[in-house]
């Protein structure tokens, strides 16, 4: 029986209750959304006691579903002002799932704002809160070491931790989740949810799953049959079976550059002359030369295995990846061609607990405004270190790219709903532009990357049929990604799910065999629509309007080299992306 663990930081109590029947088909993003929608006043202060912080494994959390171990973190975002789900790999989702914990709901705030606490969830389900003021201000890797000292060396556990940026209430603060080696390098980065964790005085969560088996299935034989078909599809697809395992998430950077869609030097160009130096191919070669690991899963059960460990020039572990978003944001967007500089910047983000996308785009804005020269890696590192040190731009960078732009008086800033854009220029790929504009999450590729349907680019010379309806593309991908997040499935399964019909079928067959409840294709699509409906209604009630579902105006007028493309999807077209929300809300009884 799945359950909720309620943690009240106001009186330091922990209570357990059965998951309500209305949410029994929810996990991950769907469940974090439902809880935030029910419990948080939409106009609440995101860093106040009325906000809640939710950690939820996906529906498949705690099982051996291929790539089914993602963790959703949910709250009202201090960055966007709307509802937010941020997603991470690592071991925490499986640990919670094995304990039948559908979600941990953290409410309230300590009376003593200087107090720091650790929530320890043991393998028998018992949970305690302990005060750990000595951990105040610890950077993430030092915090991981401090946690290990408190645990039995033989224990098997996962951690969820808050860095100093979260403690400081920075709007770009992230939350770190430990990987299979207990390194805090899997990150729920977007939306500033680390600041929500910090506001509640919660420095760390530990979850022990020592000796616990994977969660049992209602029909193990049927589950195993569907699971093998799903894994087979992931292995068979060229992206999830070859490109990602070989070159990691950064496999795509050359493709985007060739398409003229790689945001370069603060989104002023779509191609980067230094792309080869920071490509997935070069990253792999360098890692192998230094004796590093170029292929493993970010959590138990991953069959794609696109993770890797980056070794610095001293051949010592420095950081994971770096993943595509870090490589693009600190590389092409800042004009930096050195992977070692990108590795150092990624490690600094991990130590402080900061979103690499916000940091890279923020530094790119500094460069565009002349405060730093494009390509100056040393100054970029100094700028990031200035968040907790001396120099410029200083603490303001910790609040994200838009805050940097405001401090510098810049009017040209690539953000939507106050959140920095991910690494694909929407002027070249209109479907992605629609997602960036309309997603309740803010501008984020993981909300609905339409390039998974093929590269439909804004190009007068493109072959007939290439410019498919970007609104329909975005709607389909946003619903599909919401469903995958609810299931706890990695976003990179989407390629096989879109191209190999039995992969999609296997998902609802696994859900049915696992739960013993009826699932079908429509059930999966409905789950995605319901998830997005919670988000859209919450944001409307929080005060977001159609004007928030827009790209920056300069993207409609400033042509992007080399294709000379601009974003041309009309506002009235953007407004029809979520035309299913009213009907879905009425069916859900939440209108």
CATH number at residue 186: 3.60.9.10
Low-confidence residues of the chain: pLDDT under 50? 460-466
Same domain, 272 and 353: yes
Q: Where does a domain end: 397, 418, 439?
A: 418
Are 477 and 224 in contact, with CB atoms under 8 Å apart? Answer: no
What is the SS3 assignment for 281? helix
Q: What's the predicted TM-score (pTM) here?
A: 0.97
Q: Where does a domain end: 418, 445, 470?
A: 418
Same domain, 54 and 178: yes
Are 437 and 574 in contact, with CB atoms under 8 Å apart? Answer: yes
Confidence at residue 459, expressed as pLDDT on a 0 to 100 scale: 52
Same domain, 100 and 181: yes
Do the domain assignments include residue 526? no
Do the domain assignments include residue 81? yes
Same domain, 266 and 200: no
Provide the token pair at 331.
């590389």
Same domain, 57 and 140: yes
DSSP, res 582: H
- Work out how many domains the chain is built from and give that number: 2
Same domain, 165 and 298: no
Same domain, 22 and 165: yes
Q: What is the CATH number of the domain that holds 338?
A: 1.10.569.10
Confidence at residue 454, expressed as pLDDT on a 0 to 100 scale: 80
Do the domain assignments include residue 336? yes
Sign of the CA dihedral 421, 423, 427, 431? negative
Do the domain assignments include residue 474? no
Q: Where does a domain end: 193, 208, 223?
A: 208
Do the domain assignments include residue 522? no
Do the domain assignments include residue 411? yes
The residue segments making up the domain with residue 181 are: 3-208
H or E segment to which residue 14 belongs = strand 13-18
Same domain, 289 and 194: no
Same domain, 105 and 23: yes
Closest C-alpha among 328, 310, 305 to residue 320? 310
Provide the token pair at 96.
């919670």
Do the domain assignments include residue 555? no
Torsion, Cα of 546, 549, 551, 554 (10° steps): 10
Confidence at residue 457, expressed as pLDDT on a 0 to 100 scale: 65
Same domain, 278 and 153: no
Do the domain assignments include residue 481? no
Residue 118 main-chain phi, psi, to 5 deg: -120, 135
Locus of tokens 């051949």: 315
Confidence at residue 455, expressed as pLDDT on a 0 to 100 scale: 72
Same domain, 198 and 269: no
Confidence at residue 460, expressed as pLDDT on a 0 to 100 scale: 38
């Amino acid at each position: 029986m799945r359950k909720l663990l309620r943690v009240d930081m106001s009186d330091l109590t922990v209570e357990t209750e059965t998951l309500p029947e209305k949410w029994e088909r929810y996990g991950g993003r769907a469940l974090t959304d439902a809880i935030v929608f029910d419990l948080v006043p939409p106009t609440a202060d995101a860093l106040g006691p009325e906000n809640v912080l939710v950690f939820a494994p996906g529906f498949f959390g705690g099982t051996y579903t291929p790539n089914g171990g993602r963790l959703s973190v949910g709250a009202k975002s201090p960055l966007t002002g709307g509802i937010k789900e941020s997603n991470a790999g690592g071991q925490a989702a499986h640990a919670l799932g094995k304990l039948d914990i559908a979600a941990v709901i953290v409410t309230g705030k300590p009376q003593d704002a200087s107090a720091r606490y650790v929530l320890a969830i043991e393998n028998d389900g018992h949970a305690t809160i302990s005060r750990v003021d000595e951990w105040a201000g610890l950077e993430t890797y030092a915090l991981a070491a401090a946690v290990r000292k408190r645990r039995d060396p033989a224990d098997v556990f996962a951690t969820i931790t808050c860095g100093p940026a979260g403690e400081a209430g920075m709007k770009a603060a992230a939350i770190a989740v430990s990987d299979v080696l207990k390194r805090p390098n899997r990150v729920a980065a977007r939306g500033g949810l680390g600041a929500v964790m910090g506001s509640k005085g919660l420095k760390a969560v530990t979850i022990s799953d020592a000796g616990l088996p994977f969660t049992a299935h209602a029909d193990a034989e049927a589950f195993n049959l569907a699971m093998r078909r799903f894994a087979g599809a992931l292995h068979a697809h060229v992206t999830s079976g070859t490109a990602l395992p070989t070159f990691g998430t950064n496999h795509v950077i050359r493709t985007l550059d060739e398409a003229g869609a790689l945001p370069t030097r603060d989104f002023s160009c779509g191609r980067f002359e230094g792309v080869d130096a920071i490509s997935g191919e070069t990253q792999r070669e360098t890692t192998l030369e230094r004796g590093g690991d170029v292929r493993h899963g970010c959590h138990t059960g991953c069959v794609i295995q696109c993770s890797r460990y980056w070794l610095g020039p001293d051949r010592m572990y420095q950081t994971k990846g770096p993943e595509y978003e870090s490589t693009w944001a600190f590389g092409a967007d800042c004009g930096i061609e050195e992977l070692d500089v990108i590795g150092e910047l990624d490690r600094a983000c991990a130590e402080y607990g900061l979103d690499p996308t916000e940091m890279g785009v923020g530094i790119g804005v500094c460069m565009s405004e002349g405060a730093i020269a494009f390509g100056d890696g040393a100054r970029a590192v100094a700028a990031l270190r200035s968040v907790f040190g001396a120099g410029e731009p200083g603490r303001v960078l910790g609040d994200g790219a838009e805050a940097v732009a405001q401090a510098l008086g810049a009017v040209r800033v690539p953000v939507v709903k106050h959140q920095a854009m991910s690494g694909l220029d929407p002027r070249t790929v209109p479907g992605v532009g629609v997602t960036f504009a309309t997603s309740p999450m803010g501008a984020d590729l993981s909300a609905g990357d339409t390039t998974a349907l093929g590269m439909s680019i804004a190009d007068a010379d493109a072959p007939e049929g290439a410019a498919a309806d970007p609104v329909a593309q975005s709607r389909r991908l946003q619903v599909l990604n919401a469903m995958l997040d609810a299931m706890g499935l990695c976003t990179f399964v989407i390629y096989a799910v879109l191209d190999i019909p039995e992969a999609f079928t296997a998902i609802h067959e696994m859900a049915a065999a696992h739960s013993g409840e009826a699932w079908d294709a429509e059930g999966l699509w409905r789950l995605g629509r319901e998830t997005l409906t919670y988000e859209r209604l919450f944001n409307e009630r929080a005060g977001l309007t159609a004007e928030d579902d827009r790209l920056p105006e300069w993207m409609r007028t400033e042509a992007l080299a080399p294709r000379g493309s601009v974003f041309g999807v009309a506002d009235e077209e953007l407004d029809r992306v979520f035309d299913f929300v009213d009907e879905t809300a009425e069916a859900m009884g939440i209108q």
